[in-house]
Structure 1
Amino acid sequence: MAAQPSVSAPLANRDAVLPIRDASRRIVRELGFMKPTLAGTELPASAVHALIEIGNRGGLTATDLCDRLNLEKSSVSRMLRKLIDGGDLAEENSDTDGRAKRLTLTAQGRRTLAAIDAFAHEQVGGALACLPAADHAMVVEGLRLYADALHARRATPGNESKAAAPLAVRPALRIEPGYQPGLIGRAVDMHAQFYARAHGFGAVFESRVAAGLAEFLPRLDRPCNAVWTALDGDRIVGTIAIDGEDLSGPAPAPRIAHLRWFIVEDGRRGGGLGRRLLDEAVAFADRAGFAETRLWTFRGLDAARRLYEAAGFVLAAESPGSQWGTEVTEQSFVRPRQT
């Protein structure tokens, strides 16, 4: 006789349980979790997830990792030892707990993570390409809600004998103009984490981002400058700015806007949030009467380039450069004012 579940789903949810279980199994199979290795590496799924979590957060303790991966300490310890011995992870003393070791990626580990990210981006991006663009945000939000619900059930005491309480309705992500407390720190953190992991940028890049924002924000009292933040509750999950001064020369030279510090938090790209931020920025530039808006980026950021081109930017120039501490092909995009 087949084992019976110990908890019955609420009547209102029974019709959803079987389709969700079926979809979950299919996702597991299609993403390759049934195989002994994952994401084009020679590593098992637990090790791949460990590198992602440690890389995304700049370092974790083994205890933190156990909670994030929902694995027993003994399993995590064995897996971490293999990653350390294999050269992907390093241990250092924790700043907050002398008894704990903080785990960080080595240079080899960053290369491994970059390869994992490239594999995953191609895999997920290829799947999304099979769907209408209008459906992408629905997929992002549905998966996020489902993952949050699974975590909430695990975090609910006594969930072996009762269903978890319903999740509170998540407020919609909102975009707010103007300064928000913590803006510099969050914007710098999002830039540093993404570009270090994906492109190997380091201290030079992070310090330039921080210095630029610190110089710009006190100028927000001038009407030609503006910044917007995407907020999930009180948490900043995206930023963008228009600097109306650093590219504009004295009159009668044409006024030129500089689009800067455009970033969306890891895990939230592809759901339309970046497009919403970009729309706010270019609409402001048009209303303010700038003759054109320019931005600088570099080759390889294909998803961002598609957003720029959809908003009216065109590639104006590209050349090798190393101002961010790593050799890249820098690109300049220009968008004439649209009336």
Structure 2
Amino acid sequence: MTTEAPSEPRSGSGPDGSAAASDPAADVRELRRFNRFYTNLIGALDYGRHLYTPFTLTEARVLYELVHQERVDAADLRASLSLDAGYLSRLLGKFEERELISRGRSEQDPRRQRITLTGGGREAAALLEERSQEAAGSLLRHLPAADRARLTDAMRTIRDLLGDDPAATGEASPAASPEVTLRTARPGDLGWMVERNAALYAAEYGFDLSYEALVARIVAEYAEGFDPRWDRTWIAELDGARAGAVMCVRDGRPGVARLRLLLVEPSARGHGVGRQLVDACIDFARDAGYAQMVLWTNSVLGAARRIYQRAGFELVSETPHHSFGQDLVGQDWRLSLRGADT
């Protein structure tokens, strides 16, 4: 998921944006160059040659899936790992011979085969996990903390933009998902919003310092003119850490609220943070008596647009412009809070 756009401004240029137009052929070359680099680098994490285990990479992937999911059927393994049915059957047969797994009928569907790790299988998976962690740590150990943060943020961005689904890789399950909570702003939160907006949009969209200046002005105006009847800021927390934010403010036109500075941290994407923030903003505006809510965003921010569309916002207009060192396409969106426009 891309960074949620700060939803801006009332007129002129706004803070949502995209990277400058690129050459598709050059983009393909760069992607292939990265693939070659990473394929060579990932050899350092190869489960067979470098982790000194008897398992191939595919066998290790199967063990990983089995140890990270409570109930796994053979058909699920075949789909999640894109494996040939015959190849998977032979692999599971080898595991069964080595007493790493047991096989039986699924309780939900007797036609399906349930795969369960034995005690020995769990020990093998634990050894793989330990050595994989050690190998990955060796790649990161020489990097300063700031560079490690840049690297992990970049990797999350790649996964978000290319459609990675953590649930499909066994990295998260509904039972283990971190808890999202919303609260109103406290002292220090507004400064955090300025800092995170500036840092994220510089890193992900190349925005220059003029964007940080704009966000600082928006936040300062909010703090100086704050009226709890009409204005509100929410901070989303994921397991107690700040993960996102949004503002509802008076637009200046009678009965119109404006959604501003919607932000979701890269590490929090995929947990519904943006949706919950937008829903809180709409609920507050409706309860406060606003007739409409408006926002300004950028066309490239597809994840944010989908949130707005699901919430009922309608696209009103689009305008190309140049702001923050980038060529952008601004979008105005509107939501009626009374069932029909007034």
TM-score between the two structures when normalised by the length of structure 2: 0.53
Residue aligning to 1:260: 260
8 Å contact from structure 2 (residues 263, 274) kept in 1: yes
Shift, 1:101, TM fit: 11
Q: Which whole-Å CA distance do the structure 1 matches of 2:338 and 2:135 have between them?
A: 47
What is the aligned partner in structure 2 of residue 200 from structure 1? 206
The answer to whether the 8 A contact 1:238-1:262 is kept is yes
Cross-structure match for 2:138: 71
Structure 1 residues 104 and 69, CA, compared in 2 at 3 Å: closer, same or farther?
Answer: closer
Distance in 1 between residues matched to 2:157 and 2:239, nearest whole Å: 30
With over 3 angstroms needed to count, the CA separation of the structure-2 counterparts of 1:117 and 1:21, relative to structure 1, is: closer
Report the equivalent of 2:303: 303
* Distance of 1:123 and 1:176 partners within structure 2: 31
How many angstroms does 1:27 deviate by? 12
2:267 match: secondary structure: coil
Q: Report what 2:122 is aligned to.
A: none
Q: Which amino acid aligns with 1:288?
A: A
Q: Structure 2 vs 1, CA of residues 103 and 272 (structure 1 numbering), >3 Å: closer, same or farther?
A: closer
Q: 1:216 aligns with which of 188, 205, 222?
A: 222
1:181 CA displacement: 2.8
User: Does the 8 Å CA contact 1:190/1:264 hold for their aligned counterparts?
Assistant: no
Letter in 1 for 2:173: G
Question: How many angstroms apart in 2 are the aligned matches of 1:236 and 1:280?
Answer: 16
Q: Give 1:123 deviation, angstroms.
A: 3.3
Query: How far off its partner does 1:104 sit?
Result: 10
Q: Return closer, same or farther for 1:72/1:258 CA change in 2, 3 Å cut-off.
A: closer
Shift of 1:308: 0.2
Equivalent positions of 1:157-168 (< 5 A) are none
Q: Which residue number in structure 2 is paired with residue 175 of structure 1?
A: 182
> Is 195-204 or 308-317 further displaced after alignment?
195-204
Q: For the residues of structure 1 that align with 2:233 and 2:259, how far apart are their CA atoms? A: 10
In structure 2, C-alpha distance between the alignment counterparts of 1:21 and 1:235, rounded to whole Å? 25
Partner of 1:120: 159
- How far apart are 1:324 and its partner, in Å? 3.2
Report how far residue 28 of structure 1 moved.
11
Alignment counterpart, residue 248 of structure 1, candidates 252, 259, 280 = 252
Letter in 2 for 1:19: L
Matched residue SS, 1:329: strand
Instruction: Give aligned pairs, total.
Output: 223
AA matched with 1:124 = G
* CA radius of gyration, larger in: 2
Q: Which runs of 5+ in 2 are unaligned?
A: 1-51, 55-62, 83-133
SS of aligned partner of 1:221: coil
Letter in 1 for 2:332: S
* RMSD of equivalent CA atoms: 4.3
- Structure 1: tracts of 5 or more residues without a match: 5-15, 31-66, 81-99, 129-134, 147-169
User: Does residue 173 of structure 2 align to residue 142 of structure 1?
Assistant: yes
Structure 1 residue 284 corresponds to structure 2 residue 290: no
Q: Does the 8 A contact of 1:175 with 1:229 survive in 2?
A: yes
Deviation at 1:269, TM superposition (A): 1.4
Q: Against the structure 1 CA distance between its residues 233 and 325, is the aligned structure 2 distance closer, same or farther, given a 3 Å change threshold?
A: same
Residue by residue, what CA displacement relative to the aligned partner does 1:263-301 show, whole Å, maximum 9, x if unpaired? Answer: 111121121121111111011111222221111111110
Q: Is the 8 A contact 1:140 1:271 kept in 2?
A: no
Secondary structure at the aligned position of 1:71 is classed as helix
Q: Give the SS at the match of 1:327.
A: strand
Q: Deviations over 1:162-182 (max 9, x none)?
A: xxxxxxxx7x321112x2132
What does 1:324-335 correspond to in 2, within 5 Å? 324-335=324-335
Native 8 Å contact 1:228 1:239 kept in 2: yes
Tell me, in whole angstroms, the C-alpha distance in 2 between the residues paired with 1:264 and 1:279.
14
Which amino acid in the other structure matches residue 142 of structure 1? S
Name the % identity.
25
Which structure has more relative contact order (CA 8 Å, sep 6+)? It is: 2
Separation in 1, partners of 2:157, 2:242: 26
Please name the residue that 1:162 is paired with: none
Paired residue secondary structure (1:224): coil
Q: Distance in 1 between matches of 2:257 and 2:274?
A: 19
Letter in 2 for 1:198: E
Give TM-score scaled by structure 1 length.
0.54
The within-5 A match list for 1:50-61 is none
1:188 aligns with 2:184: no
* Aligned partners of 1:205 and 1:325 also within 8 Å: no
- Three-state SS of the structure 1 residue aligned to 2:202 is helix
